Structure formats: structure tokens, C-alpha cells
Amino acid sequence: MKAMSGNWLLLRSLVVKDLKVRYKRSVLGFFWFLLKPLFSMVVYTVVFTRIIRFGGAIEHFSLFLLTGLLPWNFFSASLNSSTRALLDNTRLIRSVYFPRTTLPVAGVVANAVHLALALCVLEAALIAFGHVPGPSIVLVVPATLLMIVMVSGLGMVLAVGNVFYRDVSQLVEILLLAWFYASPIIYPLGRGLVPAPVERLVMFNPLSGLLEIYHACLYSGVWPPAWTWISLLGWTGLFLVVGICVFRRAEPVVVKEL
């Protein structure tokens, strides 16, 4: 019990440290987490409603975009920070023993704080434009918690890989660019806007279930389909188990490599 309490205190300290360092001498602070997806929203809205005219089929396309961009921004930022977590804390790892799994997880939790605040702003904007939340909005909480677990598990694997091969962090940035367009952020599923074969393929994306839950609960105010939860639970369980197994097995070697 004491060990668990100590781990939580350590995680909280690392999260607070991450937030303080990230916004030291920053004028806008937290708002950068919201401004980045807002800027992306403006760019994509212009491109897909004025140039390609894809988003014209979706009411309040900007809000639809933002609903997907916020969890995506959390996912990409968390994955990048988790990948670098071990290398960025080399001195701490060498100085004292502690559960090293808290390092990649701390960055994820820090980003979750930003996501929670940004979602409050998003919900206010949705209500202002007539997207009144329904009972399904309560599902955003468990969906977000599952996303945190999923990213933490995947982050553990990438953090270990980045110790042995420094190219991993660069590769992650490239893969995230392709991953973005392979996720239902710009386009919805089940509306006929994406070719059926492509849509079936996109449904196997680990983030598709999560993003469809966000769109259903926040933007549309309806209950998400069952497949979204099956997908989210399945990928979360897989990444968590693989992440813990890989991290525990590689931890002794990782400490020596650092």
C-alpha cells in the first residue's frame, strides 16, 4: 500500500514538473494546447470547404474538426513526450531507483490535464452553436481514460525503442503525419464521404473507435455504435499488456544503456 502511494506521489511530482517546465516564461501557457488545434481547424476548414469543398456536407464543419483535433493533439503530443521520456530523464534514472514506468506515463497525464481544459472550451462552443449534449456525453470520461491507458502502453514500447535506436523519435513524427490522415478526424465514417473499402480499412485504426466516440458524444449528442467500444477496449488492452511486458523485460538493459 505504501509503495503504491509512493508511486502516485512520484507520478504527481513528475506531472507538476512537466507542466511547470513546459510553460516556464510562456505568456499564453495552457492556451497553446488549444491554439494549435484551433489554427489547424482554420486551415483545414478553408481547405476542405473552400478549395476541395469536402466539409460542406457536414454542418458546422469547424466544430466537427475541433472535436477530433483535440483528442488527436493529445495523442500525438503524448506519444512524442513518452518516446523521449527515458532519454530526457537519464540523470534521474542513474541517480535513484524508482518505477521507471512513471516517466512515459507522466507526460501522458500532463497532456490529459490540457485535454480536460480544452474539452470544456469545446463543449461551450458546441452548445453555443446548437449542439446540445445528450446523456451520451458521460461516455467521454471512460473513453478518455481508456485513451490515456492506450497511449501510456504504446509510449512505454516507444520509449524503450528510442533508447536503443535514436531514430525512433524521428520515425514517430513521420508516422503521426500519415496516422492523422488515416484517422476519422477530417471526415466522418458511415456518411458515404469515404469509399467503402477505405472506410472498412480505417475502422481497424486504433484511434478510429475513440474518435467516433468523441464525435458521437460531443458533436452529435448520440450514443456511439458498439464497434467503437470493442475497438477501443481491444487496442487499449493490447497496447497496455505489450507495453508493460516490453518495458519490464528491457528495463535492466535500458538502465545500462543510459
pLDDT digits (tens, 9 = 90+) for 18-29: 656 555 555 555
- Domain residue spans in the chain? 2-257
**Rg of the Cα trace of the chain?**
19
15-53 burial, b for 16+ CB within 10 Å, e for fewer? beebbeebeeeeeeeebebbebbbebbeebbeebbeeee
> Which residues, in sequence order, are CB contacts of 51 under 8 Å at separation 6+?
none
Mean pLDDT per segment of 10 residues, for the chain of length 258 residues?
59 64 55 66 64 62 88 93 85 77 86 88 87 91 96 93 84 85 85 80 93 94 94 96 92 77
pLDDT digits (tens, 9 = 90+) for 77-100: 999 989 988 888 788 777 777 778
Count CA within 13 A, CB hemisphere, residue 258: 24
The pLDDT score that the predictor gives to residue 51 is: 42
Give the residue from 222, 65, 248 showing the smallest Cα distance to 156: 248
pLDDT digits (tens, 9 = 90+) for 106-140: 889 888 988 998 898 889 889 988 888 889 999 99
The pLDDT score that the predictor gives to residue 205 is: 94
Give the residue from 62, 53, 155, 34 showing the smallest Cα distance to 106: 155
